[in-house]
Amino acid sequence: MTTGGRIQEHMAGGGEREFVLDVRTQDMEINMGPQHPSTHGVLRVVIRADGEVLTKATPHMGYIHRCAEKIAENVNYDQFVPYTDRYDYLAAMNNNLGYALVVEKAAELEVAPRATWIRMMVAELNRIGSHLIAFGTYGMDIGAFTPFLYGFREREWMMSLFEKLCGARLTYSYVFPGGIANDVPPGWLDELKRFCDVFEKKWVEYDKLLTRNKIFIERTKDVGVIPSGMALDYGLTGPCLRGSGVRYDLREAQPYLFYDQVSFDVPVGIGEVGTQGDCWDRYYVRMIEMLQSVRILRQCIERCEKDTTPGEIKGNRKKTLRVPATEAYVGVENPRGELGHYLISDGTDHPYRLKVRGPSFCNLSVLEELLPGTMIADAVAIIGSIDIVLGEVDR
């Protein structure tokens, strides 16, 4: 950006007069958001640019802060479940589960085996739905509109399955401390089997449509590279960490529910089309994870039908839940990384303190180091590859 200067006059060769503009420049400051569509919500990133090259980037968060943790101190344990839906509203089942598990750990509650298998099914089905949004919106960020329509086709079926299960399509309040709201309705497991069969075929369409698209690869390979050391230093989790080649998935590293009884692979970035840890690697880890979720779903359906009896979903939960004075932490593998709940109880019917570790919030911290040195257009691709949800960033 030109900020001023002065005209200098001197004599050129041959006695001709020549004028030279002595220009002083400085970086331009640009507000990206909070209404910019590629910020995936009300996120404001203040960026400084020298021409097309970024020199600094500072995320500004908190535009939809809702005091979720403070609310937890003023409602009972069951009443807080609907608030967990609103963290990452694209993965509400996973949020319900993370909160329920920390309360169960603190209160030493038992959960019926059938309820546990159903919990795994809804968690993996919601993971697929969340990654479908990541797939579709990332395509739009880069400039491809069609993947968004393809992704919503199967996501609509996923939401229909949840609607039949609990009556809601986005915020479910289905998993609560001690169990689940109700058993699966007749025919639901058979429909879930059909979904798995169809989804695997549709995944091939996604892969052809976007993953191997030449323009998409050029926009994402070697862009926003996060080396494994940087990913660990900034506390990244989920696909952002695994995209950098670090094999760390809580379902495998610290198994909860019955994840130690099913087989699945943990995909990591290998630099298939560019540098390990670039935008394409983070995107492709999410793509492969959807297939692994289908693999887990099939095993859960089989075990649920074979080893459990319909209707047996009750544990040792009493109607009025009081947690003994204690503290507990539980982390679960959400679609965007480790969602952690740290609970301190004072023996009453509500938490004394509840601290939530949001994966999107922690993953976003790397932007300040990642964006400088890249092009302005690359900022869109980089932010999209992190796949944030602002409801969980701000809480």
pLDDT at 20 over 80: no
Q: Where are the beta strands (DSSP E) in 61-183?
A: 175-176, 179-180
pLDDT at 15 over 60: no
What average pLDDT does range 123-149 have in this prediction?
93
Task: Answer yes or no: are the C-beta atoms of 179 and 111 closer than 8 Å.
Answer: yes
CA-nearest of 161, 117, 125, 123 to 305 is 117
Give pLDDT, residue 320: 84
Q: How many CB atoms lie within 10 A of CB 45?
A: 24
What average pLDDT does range 360-379 have in this prediction?
92
Distance CA 146, CA 150 (A): 7
Q: What is the pLDDT of residues 209-260, one digit of tens each?
A: 999 999 999 999 999 999 999 999 999 999 999 999 999 999 999 999 999 9
Q: Report the top-level CATH class of 32-394.
A: mainly alpha
| Positive or negative torsion for Cα 234, 236, 240, 242 | positive
Q: Provide the CB-side half-sphere exposure for 189 (13 A, CA).
A: 17
What average pLDDT does range 279-300 have in this prediction?
97
Task: Answer yes or no: are the C-beta atoms of 127 and 354 closer than 8 Å.
Answer: no
Distance CA 42, CA 99 (A): 25
Instruction: Give 16's pLDDT tier (boundaries 50, 70, 90).
Output: low
Contacts 24+ apart (CB under 8 A), 185-190: 188/161, 188/164, 189/301, 189/304, 189/305
Residue 179, amino acid: G
Instruction: Give 366's pLDDT tier (boundaries 50, 70, 90).
Output: very high
pLDDT at 6 over 70: no
Q: What percent of the chain has pLDDT over 70?
A: 94
Mean pLDDT, the chain, rounded, equals: 91
Peptide bond into 34 cis (omega under 30): yes
Give pLDDT, residue 8: 54
Give pLDDT, residue 319: 83
DSSP run (H or E) holding 44 = strand 44-50
Give pLDDT, residue 268: 96
Cross-strand bridge partners of residue 329: 342
Q: How many CB atoms lie within 10 A of CB 177?
A: 24
CA-nearest of 278, 277, 391 to 336 is 391
- Name the residue ranges covered by the structural domains of the chain: 32-394
Residue 63, amino acid: Y
pLDDT at 310 over 70: yes
Instruction: Tell me which DSSP letter residue 37 carries.
Output: G
Give pLDDT, residue 21: 59
Task: Answer yes or no: are the C-beta atoms of 285 and 268 closer than 8 Å.
Answer: yes
The residue assigned the tokens 């992704």 is: 151
Give pLDDT, residue 239: 96
Give pLDDT, residue 40: 81
Structure tokens at 242: 């695994």
Task: Answer yes or no: are the C-beta atoms of 237 and 362 closer than 8 Å.
Answer: yes
Of 50-64, 183-197, 224-238, 329-343, the one with minimum mean pLDDT is: 50-64
CA-nearest of 280, 258, 256 to 269 is 280
